[in-house]
Amino acid sequence: MSLAAWVRRARTPAPAPVKREYAFFEPADLFDLDIKDDPEASPVLCCTGDPAGASAFNALWLKRIATSGRYAAAVSVRGQGNTPAAEGGLEARAHDLVQAAVNVPRQAVLIGHKEGAAWAALAAGRYPAAALVLVSPEKVPKQPPTPVGGPPVLIVVAESETQSKEAQTAADAYGITPLTFAGSRDDVFKGAGAEGLLDAILSWLASKKD
């Protein structure tokens, strides 16, 4: 975040506060003696463009992330799930994500799915995320803000959309080659494809020591 961007933001009206739905799962919640909370591993905060919001991650994601020893959380931005709708576009949703991120106990990895990827990209421009993961990104700005603190960035797209314009824009913006996963971009929440995707993300995170 540049100083000029901060000055601009401090002088525009802040989005109306909403009571956000926030789901989290800690390794201790699994009641499994073999799984230990890893204090070195960064917590993970997920969001999705899916209208279900945070609850979409309940089926598989949160538990599986917790199994890897990480604190796992998901947030519904305004208008999703149990979070009331409120005015504001992309910026206000990024604001919701940043507000959720600072509530996570430690510096968090941001994972954004579909439109959530655009919010995560904007949020990473004003919050020093531990890592930024964009899954099947949609509506990511052509020139997203430079992520603060220089976190590692990963883009994951479904095999079917490797050639899609949305995915290409995001990949060009960050100058990285996307990782592909088998399956459709709409079933990332459960099923075999989803598990493979999640394991790929978690092993990437582990390799980055975040």
Partner 1 sequence: MQEYSSQAAYDRGEAVCVIGAGASGLIAVKNLRENGFEVDCYERDTVLGGLWNPQNQHSPLYPNTHLVTSRSQTEIPDFPMPDDWPDYPSASQMLTYLTAYAKHFGLSEHIWYGSEISAIEPVEGSRFEVVVKPAAGNAARRLRYAAVIVATGHHWSPNLPSYPGLDQFRGSVLHSSQLKDPSRLRGKHVLVIGGGNSGADIACEAAVNAASCVHSVRRGSWHLPKYLGGEPADYALARLGSRPKFLRRFLTDRLLKGPASLAARMGVAAEGRPSAEEPVRNGRYMEHVGDGSIQRRGEVARFDGFDVSFADGAEMRPDLVVLATGYRPKFTSVEPRLLGIEGDSPYPKLYARMFSPRMETLAVAGLVEPGVGVLPIVHWQTHAIAHWLLVRKSDPERAANFRVQVRSESEQDTARPAGSSPRHQLAVDAEVYLASLGRIIDTLEQEPAK
Number of residues in contact with partner 1 under rule CB under 8 A: 28
Member of 38, 149, 162, 195 binding partner 1 (CB under 8 A): 149
Residues 89-108 that bind partner 1 (CB under 8 A): 95, 98-99, 102-107
CB of 106 to partner 1, least distance (A): 6
**Helix ranges (DSSP H) in the chain:** 3-10, 61-67, 90-103, 115-124, 165-174, 192-207
Q: In the structure encoding, which two tokens stand for residue 26, read together?
A: 């800690």
CB 118 within 8 A of CB 140: yes
CB of 169 to partner 1, least distance (A): 24
According to the binding rule CB under 8 A, does residue 85 interact with partner 1?
no
CB of 181 to partner 1, least distance (A): 31
According to the binding rule CB under 8 A, does residue 184 interact with partner 1?
no
Member of 14, 28, 30, 182 binding partner 1 (CB under 8 A): 14
Residue 39 CA to chain centroid, in angstroms?
Answer: 20
Among 109, 54, 104, 55, smallest CA distance to 77 is for 54
DSSP letter (8 states) at residue 11: T
CB 24 within 8 A of CB 61: no
Nearer to partner 1, 50 or 96 (CB): 96
Member of 21, 126, 153, 174 binding partner 1 (CB under 8 A): 126
Stretch that binds partner 1, among 6-14, 27-35, 112-120, 189-197 (CB under 8 A): 6-14
Question: 129-160 burial by CB neighbour count: b if 16+ within 10 A, else e?
Answer: bbbbbbbbbbbbeeebbebeeebbbbbbbbee
Nearer to partner 1, 10 or 33 (CB): 10
Nearer to partner 1, 12 or 177 (CB): 12
CA distance 144 to 110: 15
Q: In the structure encoding, which two tokens stand for residue 56, read together?
A: 């979409």
According to the binding rule CB under 8 A, does residue 148 interact with partner 1?
yes
Binding residues (CB under 8 A) for partner 1: these are 1-4, 6-8, 10-12, 14-15, 17, 19, 95, 98-99, 102-107, 126-128, 148-149
